[in-house]
Amino acid sequence: MWLFVAFLAVPLIEIALFIQIGGMIGLWLTLLIVILTAVLGTYLVRTQGLIAIGKLQSSFSQLHDPTEPLAHGAMILFAGALLLTPGFFTDGLGFALCVPMIRSRVFHALRQKVKVQSFSMGSGNRGPGGSKPQQPYDPNVIDGDFEEVENDISNPSGRSGWTKH
């Protein structure tokens, strides 16, 4: 229901703002502002996105929880979509999401509403130097996958099928 309200309210807010601001400053200046915010927003999203990718790579290399850098990246992507959408309201929201402090507050507010059941990085059984193993490390254990194959009774020769002779 809230998504329907958002899809209805945002265009109405944008139309009202275009009429009000366009009436105050004129059509051409209004269009120029919309184009400039799209160009400036593209630059900001690009720079903020590169910073977020660097933080994400750092969290992966140090085996830290990548949740916050991933959330920042998603919010930057959403900010880019808002900034490329013509309008003053969406530009305001997009520019707000380009500010790291605001993104952090949004992340922490959303994090309080989301309950994570479990989190793990990588496979559960790593050797020395890897992440903390979930089971004790045993060098005599070989981890592998298998698939059961039914016996082929159409081979009456008694050969196992493992050899080519």
Res 77: pLDDT: 92
Res 165: pLDDT: 55
pLDDT for 65 beyond 90: no
Question: DSSP characters for 72-94?
Answer: HHHHHHHHHHHHHSSSHHHHHHH
Per-residue pLDDT of 21-52, as tens digits, reads 999 999 999 999 999 998 998 899 999 999 99
- The domain ranges of the chain are 8-113
**Residue 89 CB neighbour total at 10 angstroms:** 19
pTM, to two decimals: 0.65
Position 9 confidence tier, pLDDT thresholds 50, 70, 90: very high
When pLDDT is averaged across residues 75-79 and rounded to a whole number, the result is: 93
Place of tokens 């009436």: 23
Res 63: pLDDT: 84
Torsion-angle region of residue 54: left (phi > 0), alpha (psi -120 to 50) or beta? alpha
- Residue 133, both tokens: 């193993």
